[in-house]
């Protein structure tokens, strides 16, 4: 029997969906940990596979303890908490589940944009304040017609493409920046490609971020980008919090260099209530129609989460049994 360790398992249903898959093949071990030292070395040593979540770092200090591990599957798309290079050098495959949550994240991103464009949350807030005085279409001054407005996408992978199709349905003119997408993909879905991020930033009315978080994309959107964008820019991030410099975003909002921001992800989660942007969202009147936060929930639907949990475990088992290795992201580093 194999041993599969879930070091930061969040579900409270005792492997309801994993047990039928694991039956007779592997033992499932769960911890609700955030640091490696919360789990005994003996548990790390004997795990044949890991399925990791949102919190556990698999780094250079931990990897030597993974004496039996053959594969680590990230229960999600992003793998920024896993040192894929060191894992590869140790002979450990790192995989992800890139096809889960595509519909949900794309829906969430376009909904954030349409919320700002149509003023839904702000109308709702104002009506709660004074239903008589604010019962008028002009109580929100930022309403926009999105047909022919320019929306830019950073990262045209599965989710970015799904978002592009939704944006086209609303009548947006869609462009993207992604240096890793092969030539011709823009023709397949009839969108415009920019070869420089700066070109996307200077022309877009709305921007949606759908790229991975890594050394190249950390603080990709910072003060230098906010200086060149349109003052009416609405930017939403459903990818990873590290991609937008939150300090610079706050300054851009406060100084009206951009119109609004919608964030499902933050550099620190849960949200740091002492950060100026979060403070403004909580308490400052000027931010009421400029900031929307959601709790890293863009990926979530009950159906999508079941798919994710099942596929993460199947990915581990398929590799351990020599059936196939799916969605390996560190092939080039494997010994």
pTM for the whole thing?
0.87
pLDDT at 184 (0 to 100): 94
> Does residue 207 have a pLDDT over 90?
yes
Spatial separation of the C-alpha atoms in residues 323 and 205, rounded to whole Å: 47
Does the pLDDT at position 67 exceed 80? yes
Query: What is the model's pLDDT at position 335?
Result: 78
pLDDT, position 302:
93
38 to each of 8, 35, 42, 44, 100, how far by Cα in Å? 10, 6, 12, 11, 29
CB atoms within 10 A of CB 152: 28
Average pLDDT, the chain: 96
Active site residue 259: no
Helix axes 246-254, 276-283, angle to 10 degrees: 50
Q: List the strands of the sheet with 291-293, edge to edge.
A: 192-194, 173-177, 150-154, 206-209, 234-237, 260-263, 291-293
Domain ranges of the chain: 2-100+301-333, 102-293
Instruction: Write the pLDDT tens digit of every residue in 71-97.
Output: 999 998 889 899 999 999 999 999 999
Q: Which CATH architecture has domain 102-293?
A: 3-Layer(aba) Sandwich (3.40)
Residue of 74, 240, 259, 319 with catalytic role? 240
Q: Are the CB atoms for 213 and 242 separated by under 8 Å?
A: yes
Q: Vertex 147, ends 290 and 178: CA angle to 5°?
A: 75
Percent of the chain at pLDDT > 70 equals 100
Q: Which helix (H) or strand (E) holds 71?
A: strand 71-74
The model's confidence at residue 9, banded by pLDDT at 50, 70 and 90, is: confident
2-100+301-333 shares its CATH topology with 102-293: yes
Q: What is the pLDDT of residue 45?
A: 98
Running DSSP on this structure, what letter comes out for residue 182?
A: P
246 three-class SS: helix
Residue 319 has pLDDT above 90, yes or no: yes
Strands 26-30 and 2-6 turn out to be parallel
Q: Could you tell me the pLDDT band of residue 10, with boundaries at 50, 70 and 90?
A: confident
Q: What local confidence, expressed as pLDDT, does residue 52 receive?
A: 97
Alpha carbons 174 and 290: distance in angstroms, whole number: 23
Catalytic residue among 108, 259, 296, 309: 296
Encode pLDDT of 236-265 as tens digits: 999 999 999 999 999 999 999 999 999 999
Q: What are 165-174's pLDDT values in tens digits?
A: 999 999 999 9
Residue with tokens 């877009």: 204
Which pair of tokens denotes residue 3? Answer: 């041993």
Predicted local confidence at residue 146, as pLDDT: 98
Q: Which CATH class is domain 2-100+301-333?
A: alpha beta
From residue 103, how far is each of 120, 124, 160, 233, 266 by CA, in Å?
22, 26, 10, 24, 21
pLDDT mean over 131-136: 98
| Residue 145 annotated in active site | no
pLDDT tops 80 at residue 123: yes
Residue 136 known to be catalytic: no
What's the helix, strand, coil split of the chain in %, to 5?
40, 15, 45
Which residue among the candidates 60, 129, 216, 269 is catalytic per the annotation? 269
Instruction: Tell me what the mean pLDDT of segment 128-149 comes to.
Output: 97
């Amino acid at each position: 029997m194999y041993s599969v360790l879930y070091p930061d398992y969040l579900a409270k249903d005792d492997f309801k969906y994993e047990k039928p898959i694991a039956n007779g093949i592997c033992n499932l071990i769960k911890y609700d940990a955030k640091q490696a030292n919360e789990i005994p070395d003996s548990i790390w040593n004997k795990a044949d596979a890991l399925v990791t979540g949102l919190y556990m770092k698999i780094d250079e200090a931990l990897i030597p303890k993974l004496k039996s591990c053959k594969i680590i599957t990230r229960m999600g798309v992003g793998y920024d908490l896993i040192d894929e290079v060191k894992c590869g050098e140790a002979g450990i495959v790192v995989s992800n589940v890139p096809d889960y949550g595509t519909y949900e994240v794309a829906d969430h991103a376009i909904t954030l944009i349409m919320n700002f464009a149509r003023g839904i949350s702000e109308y709702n807030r104002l009506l709660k304040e004074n239903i008589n005085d604010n019962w008028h279409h002009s109580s929100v001054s930022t309403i926009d017609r999105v047909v022919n407005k320019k929306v830019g996408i950073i990262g045209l992978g599965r989710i970015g493409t799904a978002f592009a199709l939704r944006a086209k349905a609303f009548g947006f003119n869609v462009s993207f920046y992604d240096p890793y997408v092969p030539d011709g993909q823009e023709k397949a879905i009839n969108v415009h490609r920019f070869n420089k991020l700066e070109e996307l930033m200077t022309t877009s009315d709305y921007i949606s971020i759908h790229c991975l978080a890594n050394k190249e994309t950390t603080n990709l959107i910072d003060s230098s980008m906010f200086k060149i964008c349109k003052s009416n820019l609405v930017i939403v991030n459903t990818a990873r919090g590290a991609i937008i410099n939150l300090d610079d975003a706050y300054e851009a909002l406060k100084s009206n260099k951009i119109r609004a921001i919608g964030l499902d992800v933050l550099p620190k989660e849960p949200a740091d209530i002492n950060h100026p942007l979060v403070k403004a969202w909580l308490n400052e009147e000027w931010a009421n129609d400029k900031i929307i936060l959601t709790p890293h929930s863009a990926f979530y639907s009950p159906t999508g989460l079941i798919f994710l949990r099942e596929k993460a475990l199947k990915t581990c088992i398929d590799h351990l049994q020599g059936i196939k290795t799916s969605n390996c992201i560190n092939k080039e580093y494997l010994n």
